[in-house]
Amino acid sequence: MFAFGAAFLPTEWMKASHTGLGLGAFPESPLVDYLTRSISMLYGMYGGFYLVIARNLRRFAPVLRYMASMNIVFGAMMLGIDLHAGMPWYWAAVEGPSILVFGVILLLLVRYVPSG
């Protein structure tokens, strides 16, 4: 849910972060501004979704299994996208694989949720 805050960062801070990560000059366009802020909101909603589900694991176990499976697919796809887009090695090594590992761990853990 910390990602919500990034949606409201001043553009100058985003530029500095972009440069600091070794990604070169921050591309200034309405599309880039839209994408950076909207993905922050999306990740924030994603975190809130998990908090809601965590309140009743038995009821939402099927949803958790689905989300775990989608995280595995999403993580693999993000790794492919990062490599295709030419993201730095450290970015590709962390983003997709961490999402994928989260999905695997979630899928393993949801097996221990007692059925209804």
List the pLDDT tens digit at each of the 116 positions of the chain. Answer: 889 999 999 999 999 999 998 888 999 999 999 999 999 999 999 999 999 999 999 999 999 999 999 999 999 999 999 999 999 999 999 999 999 999 999 999 999 998 76
Q: Are residues 78 and 46 in the same domain?
A: no
Q: What are phi and psi of 79, to 5 degrees?
A: -60, -45
User: For the chain, what is the domain count?
Assistant: 2
Q: Are residues 80 and 94 in the same domain?
A: yes
The predicted pLDDT at position 65 comes to: 95
Q: Are residues 66 and 115 in the same domain?
A: yes
The predicted pLDDT at position 114 comes to: 87
The predicted pLDDT at position 2 comes to: 87
φ/ψ region of 24 (left if φ > 0, alpha if ψ in -120 to 50, else beta) reads left
Non-local (6+) Cβ contacts of 15 within 8 A are 25, 26
Q: Are residues 50 and 73 in the same domain?
A: no
Q: Are residues 50 and 60 in the same domain?
A: no
Q: Which of 35, 55, 75 is the last residue of a domain?
A: 55
Q: Are residues 23 and 41 in the same domain?
A: yes
Q: What does pTM read for this prediction?
A: 0.85
The predicted pLDDT at position 116 comes to: 63
Domain coverage including residue 27: 1-55
